[in-house]
Copies of this chain bind each other. A is one copy, B any other.
């Protein structure tokens, strides 16, 4: 197995090939993407074993976290998630077909549709969430608690700064 280029190697290659290329961001940006992909693929594997996909788990998670009575409008779901309204509509349709949520017209807004967790959906997320989060804690356990908290703070500062620069569209997951 070829050892993939590390971020430092990529930056060095650009400077060698094109002296003057601005490379200061690569050490952070590339690694964020690499780590994100490793974690995302691992979660997909865990969920595949449980017979559920990421989109559905994301949906059920948001509803479960909202607390009793476990319902939100489509608009609220869109605002709390990283994806578009159309994708939410499709995710909800799939979850509804699987009996995990229920759609009922009427609710808060003008023409809102309320999405509610069914008992089956509630059971599904209970079955899943600890498995997923326990696995994740295990994955980052190489980082001692204090360094983990420090990293979280630094990422929080970066995220806040980016959000200010780019407008608000950075949303949730799990």
| Chain A interface residues (CB < 8 Å from chain B) | 1-8, 10, 13-14, 16-18, 21-42, 64-67, 76, 79-80, 82, 126, 129-130, 133-134, 136-137, 139-140, 142-143, 145, 147-152, 154-159, 161-163, 165-166, 168-174
Q: Is the CB of B17 within 8 A of A151?
A: no
Q: Is the CB of B143 within 8 A of A35?
A: no
Closest to A161 in B: B142
CB contact between A10 and one of B10, B37, B168, B174 (< 8 Å): that residue: B174
Question: Bound complex: CA of A171 vs CA of B133, how far in Å?
Answer: 24
Q: Is the CB of B134 within 8 A of A161?
A: no
CB contact between A33 and one of B21, B82, B137, B166 (< 8 Å): that residue: B82
Q: Is the CB of B152 within 8 A of A140?
A: no
Contacts of A41 in B (CB 8 A): 169
Contacts of A166 in B (CB 8 A): 38, 42, 139
What are 7 residue pairs bridging A and B, where the CB atoms are less than 8 Å apart in the complex?
A2-B79, A3-B168, A26-B136, A26-B174, A34-B170, A35-B159, A142-B161
Closest 6 CB pairs of A and B: A27-B152, A142-B161, A2-B79, A31-B155, A25-B136, A36-B36
Q: Is the CB of B170 within 8 A of A25?
A: no
| With contact pairs A4-B80, A31-B156 given, residues A10 and B172 touching in the complex (Cβ less than 8 Å) | yes
